[in-house]
Amino acid sequence: ILFFVICCLLLYICNTLVCFECWLHEGRVSPLEEVELTFALKQQNVDKLQELLALVSDPDSQHYGKFLTLEEVASLVRPSQLTEKVVQTWLQSHGVTRCHTVLTRDFLQCSMTVQVAETLLSGAEFHRYRRDGQTIVRSSSQYSVHDDVSQHLDFVGGVLRFPPRGKEISKGWTGARHLKSFHLGVTPATLRARYNLTAADVGTAANNSQAVAQFLEQFYHPADLAEFMSLFAREFKHLTEVERVVGTQGGGKAGLEASLDVEYIMSTGANISTWVFTNPGRHESQEPFLQWMLLLSNMSAVPWVHTISYGDDEDSLSTCYMNRINNEFMKAGVRGISMLFASGDSGAGCRHLPKEQNVFRPSFPASSPYVTTVGGTSFKNPFKVTYEVTDYISGGGFSNVFAMPDYQVSAVKAFLKGKQSLPPESYYNASGRAYPDMAALSDNYWVVTNLVPIPWVSGTSASTPVVGGILSLINDQRFVKGLPSLGFLNPRLYKLQGTGLFDVTEGCHLSCLDDKVEGQGFCAAPAWDPVTGWGTPNYPDLLTALGKD
């Protein structure tokens, strides 16, 4: 109990002392400096896109697996001629001519001076901010767009949103945890033993591929990957190089999270072609996550599985922005692409409202109904490959923005009506999209970064690429049989009702440190729960369940 309270206190301190994570204001930006803004044009047929995603993702549908090409997606959602004309005329009337679009024509990226940008976006006032050696240019105030134009835009990127701070994923600082028990560490061999992968379970299909996406100035080093495979992957066939880097790798030291992502997707989804999407040559006004979304809308051939360890508080983002990002996830899903996001490392989270009761704090994109969200677990016995329990940091809960999708209604209602105790209803939105969907080990990984093996690296940033690699192996077997990729997994995953997964039924995650919940969020339970989803992969059984149509 003391250990749990200490961990809750640490989370509370991290969440409340946000002033230390603020960007340092450096002053107004010169009117003649350039910014690059992203205009998200209103799409057509979004309802049809949603219907189509449901059909191609439902194994009981005759349209299951009949995915679209990017060109077909473009013909479905591309903005109307009127929208394109209104936006382009508006920009050109202000002298903005240096623009480029994407194949789906629903984004425009344009360069212009700050003076022009502030004229276009009434109320905007661009300033420069600095944090941890990084500078960005953002508006310090809200903007508006003329009514005649605003009806043709979802949002303008590069104006208001500040990048979240890269989270510390090495939990060596949680001294209480390591006083309680010492773990020998999770390696590829540990994962293969727990999830029943043999040395023969590696990729063989030539048309298979997987990817990780890196934001927040995180980079991996090829030498680290080679060293990691040499140390930890000798027992099975594997690749030692990333096939393709999309973007620009930065110099200097490797990032711990970037190293973790690449090393574990390539050792779990072994011998499968892997791409890394990384920050392009970043302009101060660009948003790296948005840049990645644009790349997907402009590349006809991309990997089948993408794992992303990135998120932000739902309440820090506008609904129109999140809705549009959901549209982008749907565009990926109808192409047969599986999107996996880490559920986060703050448990249920906590939003401290002045003079009001605390509430849980969901994360986005983890709360998107159109991605598969991955939570975290720990071994019950730290000295053996045993059954798993909840990792107390595993993100999970209920969206305050998105309604619960049909595919999970029965599972979530069963949890809410179960025998386990629940937090007070005032802390969460029981009718919202519930997450995570599944989980994997997220505690005490070994990672090689800057040629040094580092233990005790933890977080759902670890579990997500592991699940991604396992889904890539299942895709591999499907491709050998001439079947399509898994695509958007959730509708099929929930119909399995836990088949092919180890159910996690012990442990709770963190939440608000107050007198009502006392730092405890939700707890694991039989079947689905908002801490570990349906559980962790049992590869042979999951392959049997998902490897056929």
Residues that are catalytic: 257, 261, 461
CB atoms within 10 A of CB 65: 17
Indicate the angle between helix axes 46-57 and 319-333, nearest 10 degrees: 50
The residue among 117, 115, 159 whose CA lies nearest residue 287 is 159
Tokens representing 95 are: 């002298």
Tokens representing 495 are: 């119909």
**Omega prior to 365 cis, within 30 of 0:** yes
Distance (Å, rounded) from C-alpha 473 to C-alpha 209?
A: 10
What's the Cα-to-Cα distance from 426 to each of 13, 53, 128, rounded to whole Å?
Answer: 23, 33, 39
Distance (Å, rounded) from C-alpha 255 to C-alpha 219?
A: 5
The residue among 61, 104, 496 whose CA lies nearest residue 332 is 104
String of DSSP letters for 70-111: HHHHHHHHPPPHHHHHHHHHHHHHTT---EEE-TTS-EEEEE
Tokens representing 115 are: 């003076």
With residue 463 as reference, give the H or E element that holds it: helix 460-480
Tokens representing 228 are: 């990691």
Distance (Å, rounded) from C-alpha 174 to C-alpha 12?
A: 14
Q: What is the dihedral of CA 242, 248, 253, 255, to 10 degrees?
A: -70
Tokens representing 187 are: 């390696």
With residue 495 as reference, give the H or E element that holds it: helix 490-496
With residue 245 as reference, give the H or E element that holds it: strand 244-246
CB 377 within 8 A of CB 389: yes
Q: What sign for the dihedral angle of Cα 46, 361, 464, 375?
A: negative
Distance (Å, rounded) from C-alpha 41 to C-alpha 86?
A: 10
